[in-house]
């Protein structure tokens, strides 16, 4: 069966009223939980899991997938409006999205996020449809050394994401890396800095840090300043992106889609890393990198495209290899096993209707999300008119609920408040907060990967340079490190 026939079969399944309903319902739920900080697709899908037992597996999976990609749409909303990321994958969107909102361009930022999410979502479904089997083969080539080098590239690029001072970025990164040390060590299982708290044995959950540093930190900082409201009240009229905006955002969206899709394919990396690699790329290819962090539209379009495209990518290993690419797809795989489907390479052959029905529904769901999200833009943007004295207690409640829902534990709520204080200090002292979170996510992965690589090579570092993928990432690391030096020397010559 060729692709065209398969996708026709898929649409014939996805377009039945029942499945359309589930795609819509999933998209709606996804949008809502995406908007609410802390509550992510993973725990939502886990919660709706028991309700799917009586359902047709295809319909159930269509709904779950819709929740997953729907959440990536919604996640940008609070990032842009309140500087509080709805999901970890929307941390990067705070950098420029919030600045755009402060300049009265909240509507443009929200619309850009929705449109680039739509384009990226569609591109990644096409990628999933056409490239899944060959891509899965490439993903298999990624062993621990490749992951190490890729993550190292990620860590290197973080340095240049933050604001004006590289030194301050480095301090934030080191703080994040130190936080990443907490927990059981990956090889020996020895607990490190857990202070005899069982809750710390798995390390510090980065969502707790995101909610604390961004959410609580933002509330604390704003509690001091009263007058910011007037800034945000200014013109909400500019809701529709101008032609110039579109031009600037297009390249970023396309690059973000490609980066997001490929990073999404690699198990364990996912939407968060995709979003910041995209941001870093945009900042590097841009002719005016100084605009980033001050409301550059590319800084919204790129990461938002990347985190949506990563969803389609994450489906590749799930469908072709039976290996989940992210925490959320792991739950989906669990669900498939409960419905009696065996995730694995044979799924594509034995359950064509299932696979293609879902793929087709992802096209439809993305259209639904665009239609659902665009009219919401003015509504959300007008949220900025709500006085902070009403809005901020509400944010506190949402943050507490979201973090509590992670593990149903008050410990994490207290930890979030602790990081709220960190967030306050970081903002007051003008350290960039995003690198803390990113380094916390990457640190443990880098550590495990280097351990694994060195075990594989019996202790020799040469394994990192003798494998082609790994070596090329390391070359990229060198290039990334060289760029600021080159720029700096150019500027000096000019001066």
Partner 1 sequence: MKISKVFTLLILTSMVLSPAFLAAAGPYPEKTIEFVTHSAPGGGSDIFSRHIANLMEKEKLVPVPLVVVNKSGGSGAIAVAYVAPKAGDSYTIFATSPGIYATLVKGEVKASIVDFTPICSLIEDPNVLVVRADAPYKNVKEFIAEARKKRKGLSLGLSSLGGGDHAIAIKMGEATGVEFNIVSFKQGTEAIMAILGGHVDFGLGNPGETAGQIESGQLRVLATATDRRLPQMPNIPTLKEEGIDVSYTSIRGIIGPKDMPKDVVKYWETAFQKLTQTQSWKKYIEKEKVLDAYKGSADFGKFLEKELPRLRGDLVGFGLIKKK
Q: Does 40 bind partner 1 (CB under 8 A)?
A: no
Q: Does 347 bind partner 1 (CB under 8 A)?
A: yes
- CA-nearest of 7, 420, 9, 70 to 213 is 420
Among 201, 229, 246, 254, binds partner 1 (CB under 8 A): 201
- CA-nearest of 427, 430, 429, 431 to 439 is 431
- Cα 42 to Cα 68: distance, rounded to the nearest angstrom: 8
The residues pairing with 184 across neighbouring beta strands, listed in sequence order, are 191
Among 17, 188, 375, 387, binds partner 1 (CB under 8 A): 188
Among 49, 181, 254, 367, binds partner 1 (CB under 8 A): 49
Q: Is 20 exposed, middle or buried (0-12, 13-18, 19+ CB in 10 A)?
A: middle
Tokens of 190: 């020895």
- Cα 485 to Cα 455: distance, rounded to the nearest angstrom: 35
DSSP 214: I
Q: Does 290 bind partner 1 (CB under 8 A)?
A: no
Q: Which CB atom, from 187 or from 386, has the smaller least distance to partner 1? A: 187
- Cα 31 to Cα 16: distance, rounded to the nearest angstrom: 22
Q: Does 39 bind partner 1 (CB under 8 A)?
A: no
Q: Taking the complex as a whole, how short is the minimal distance between the CB of residue 448 and partner 1, in angstroms?
A: 7
Q: x/- binding map, residues 402-431, to partner 1, per CB under 8 A?
A: -----xxx----------------------
Q: x/- binding map, residues 240-279, to partner 1, per CB under 8 A?
A: ---------------------------xx-----------
Q: Does 61 bind partner 1 (CB under 8 A)?
A: no
Q: Which CB atom, from 66 or from 236, has the smaller least distance to partner 1? A: 66
Show contacts with partner 1 in window 202-221 (CB under 8 A): 202
Q: Taking the complex as a whole, how short is the minimal distance between the CB of residue 331 and partner 1, in angstroms?
A: 4
Q: Which CB atom, from 42 or from 259, has the smaller least distance to partner 1? A: 42
Q: Taking the complex as a whole, how short is the minimal distance between the CB of residue 278 and partner 1, in angstroms?
A: 24
Q: How far is CA 404 from CA 37, 78, 330, 431, in A?
A: 12, 19, 21, 27
Q: Which CB atom, from 382 or from 455, has the smaller least distance to partner 1? A: 455
Q: Quickly list DSSP for 364-423.
A: HHHHHHHHHHTTHHHHHHGGGGS-HHHHHHHHHHHHHHHHHHHHT-HHHHHHHHHHHHHH
Q: Which CB atom, from 56 or from 191, has the smaller least distance to partner 1? A: 191
- Cα 110 to Cα 74: distance, rounded to the nearest angstrom: 10
- Cα 453 to Cα 450: distance, rounded to the nearest angstrom: 5
Q: Taking the complex as a whole, how short is the minimal distance between the CB of residue 414 and partner 1, in angstroms?
A: 16
Q: Quickly list DSSP for 411-455.
A: HHHHHHHHHHHHHHHHHHTT--SHHHHHHHHHHHHHHHHHHHHHH
Q: Does 343 bind partner 1 (CB under 8 A)?
A: yes
Among 274, 310, 330, 438, binds partner 1 (CB under 8 A): 330
Among 324, 357, 420, 423, binds partner 1 (CB under 8 A): 324
Q: Which CB atom, from 393 or from 468, has the smaller least distance to partner 1? A: 468
Q: Which CB atom, from 71 or from 106, has the smaller least distance to partner 1? A: 71
Q: Which CB atom, from 143 or from 163, has the smaller least distance to partner 1? A: 143
Q: Does 337 bind partner 1 (CB under 8 A)?
A: yes
Residues 322/333, Cβ–Cβ less than 8 Å:
yes
Number of residues that bind partner 1 (CB under 8 A): 55
Show contacts with partner 1 in window 434-493 (CB under 8 A): 448, 451-452, 455-456, 458
Among 332, 362, 377, 403, binds partner 1 (CB under 8 A): 332
Q: Taking the complex as a whole, how short is the minimal distance between the CB of residue 392 and partner 1, in angstroms?
A: 31
Contacts from 236-240 at CB under 8 Å and sequence distance 24+?
236/104, 236/106, 236/107, 236/378, 236/381, 236/382, 236/384, 236/385, 237/107, 238/104, 238/105, 238/107, 238/108, 239/107, 239/108, 239/111, 239/377, 239/378, 239/381, 240/107, 240/108, 240/111
Q: Taking the complex as a whole, how short is the minimal distance between the CB of residue 54 and partner 1, in angstroms?
A: 10
Q: How far is CA 148 from CA 154, 176, 182, 351, in A?
A: 10, 17, 20, 35
State the residues that interact with partner 1 by CB under 8 A.
42-43, 45-46, 49-50, 53, 139-144, 184, 186-189, 191, 198-199, 201-202, 267-268, 317, 321-324, 327, 330-335, 337-338, 340, 342-347, 407-409, 448, 451-452, 455-456, 458
């Amino acid at each position: 069966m060729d692709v065209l026939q398969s996708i026709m079969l898929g649409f014939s399944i996805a377009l039945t009223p029942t499945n359309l309903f589930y795609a819509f319902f999933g998209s709606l739920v996804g949008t809502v939980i995406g908007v609410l900080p802390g509550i992510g697709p993973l725990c939502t899908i886990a919660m709706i899991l028991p309700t799917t037992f009586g359902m047709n597996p295809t319909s159930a999976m269509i709904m779950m997938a819709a929740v997953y990609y729907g959440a990536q749409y919604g996640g940008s909303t609070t990032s842009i409006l309140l500087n509080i990321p709805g999901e970890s994958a929307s941390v990067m969107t705070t950098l420029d999205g919030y600045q755009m909102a402060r300049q009265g361009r909240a509507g443009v930022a929200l619309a850009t996020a929705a449109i680039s999410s739509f384009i990226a979502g569609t591109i990644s479904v096409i990628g999933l449809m056409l490239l899944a089997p060959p891509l899965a083969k490439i993903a298999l080539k990624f062993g621990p050394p490749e992951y190490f080098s890729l993550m190292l590239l990620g860590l290197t690029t973080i340095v240049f994401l933050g604001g004006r001072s590289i030194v301050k970025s480095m301090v934030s990164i080191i703080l994040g890396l130190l936080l990443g040390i907490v927990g059981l060590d990956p090889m020996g299982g020895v607990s490190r800095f857990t202070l005899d708290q069982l809750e710390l044995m798995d390390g510090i959950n980065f969502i707790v840090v995101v909610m604390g540093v961004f959410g609580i930190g933002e509330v604390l900082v704003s509690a001091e300043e009263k007058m910011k409201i007037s800034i945000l009240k200014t013109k909400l009229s500019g809701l529709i992106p101008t032609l110039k905006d579109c031009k600037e955002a297009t390249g970023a969206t396309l690059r973000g889609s490609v980066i997001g899709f490929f990073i999404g394919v690699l198990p364990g990396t996912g939407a968060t890393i995709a979003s910041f690699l995209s941001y870093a790329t945009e900042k590097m290819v841009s002719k005016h990198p100084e605009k980033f962090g001050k409301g550059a539209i590319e800084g919204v379009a790129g990461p938002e495209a990347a985190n949506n495209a990563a969803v389609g990518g994450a489906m590749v290993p799930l469908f072709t290899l039976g290996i989940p690419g992210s925490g959320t797809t792991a739950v989906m795989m669990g669900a498939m096993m409960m419905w009696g489907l065996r995730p694995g390479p044979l799924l594509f052959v034995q359950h064509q209707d299932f696979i293609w029905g879902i793929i087709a529904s992802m096209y439809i769901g993305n259209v639904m999300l665009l239609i659902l999200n665009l009219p919401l833009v003015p509504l959300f943007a007008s949220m900025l008119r709500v006085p902070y004295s009403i809005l901020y207690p509400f944010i506190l409640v949402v943050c507490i609920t979201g973090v509590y829902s992670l593990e149903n534990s008050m410990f994490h709520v207290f930890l979030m408040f602790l990081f709220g204080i960190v967030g306050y200090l970081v903002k007051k002292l003008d350290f960039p907060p995003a690198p803390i979170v990113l380094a916390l996510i990457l640190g443990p992965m880098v550590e495990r990967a280097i351990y694994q690589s060195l075990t594989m090579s019996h202790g020799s570092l040469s394994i990192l340079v003798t494998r082609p993928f790994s070596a090329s990432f390391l070359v990229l690391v060198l290039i990334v490190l060289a760029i600021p030096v080159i720029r700096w020397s150019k500027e000096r010559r000019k001066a």
